[in-house]
Structure 1
Amino acid sequence: MFEPKRLARLKWACRRGMLELDVLLLPFVEQAFDELSYEEKVTFERLLTSDDPDLFAWIMGHQKCDDPELAAMISTVVNRVKV
């Protein structure tokens, strides 16, 4: 389980330099994060350490993420946001 301080830091990390990322990442954490397994939560946390241009390109499908775990998490975020 993510303790409250860790979850608060995660939410803060969702506030990016690009509005396009903000409107995807923060709602994902608020609406779907609790449903993820612990391993998926750690992967999402690692995803947030990526640079904004990379995140944007991966999420928009302009580039493919070479890390399979991160690519799967990107797919989860994108599919969840589409719902």
Structure 2
Amino acid sequence: MSDDTTSAEIERKRLYWHSRRGMWELDLLLIPFLEQRYDHLSAEEQLAYRQLIDEEDQDLFTWLMRREWPGEPSLRHIVQMIVAHAENTDNAIYRTL
């Protein structure tokens, strides 16, 4: 790692690797959202995303497949944003799930 690597770049790489879950369905939802929307989120929404990716895969799957919503309002909001992003993307990934 070079000395010119900023803390923001390090954090972004960490988020990317933590967003890769090894479950195809989750990867197809989390990675595009991170790449396309994360930088435009408010500080509170970014915090919610960071909290979300610390959750268990089974919970993420249940929430992102809209079977249930998280009880925590900030997590519910970010999950709904991810779902809406997936539904509105040109490649319509969400329709294949």
Q: TM-score, normalised by structure 1?
A: 0.93
Q: Which runs of 5+ in 1 are unaligned?
A: none
Q: Distance in 2 between matches of 1:17 and 1:7?
A: 18
Percent identity over the alignment is 38
Is 2:13 the counterpart of 1:12?
no
- More relative contact order, 1 or 2 (CA 8 Å, 6+ apart): 1
For 1:64-79, list aligned pairs within 5 A.
64-79=69-84
Structure 1 runs of 4+ off > 3 angstroms? none
RMSD value, Cα: 1.1
Whose Rg is larger? 2
Count residues with an aligned counterpart: 82
Q: Which runs of 5+ in 2 are unaligned?
A: 1-6, 89-97
Give the superposition deviation at 1:64. Answer: 2.4
Q: TM-score, normalised by structure 2?
A: 0.80
For 1:4-83, list aligned pairs within 5 A.
4-83=9-88
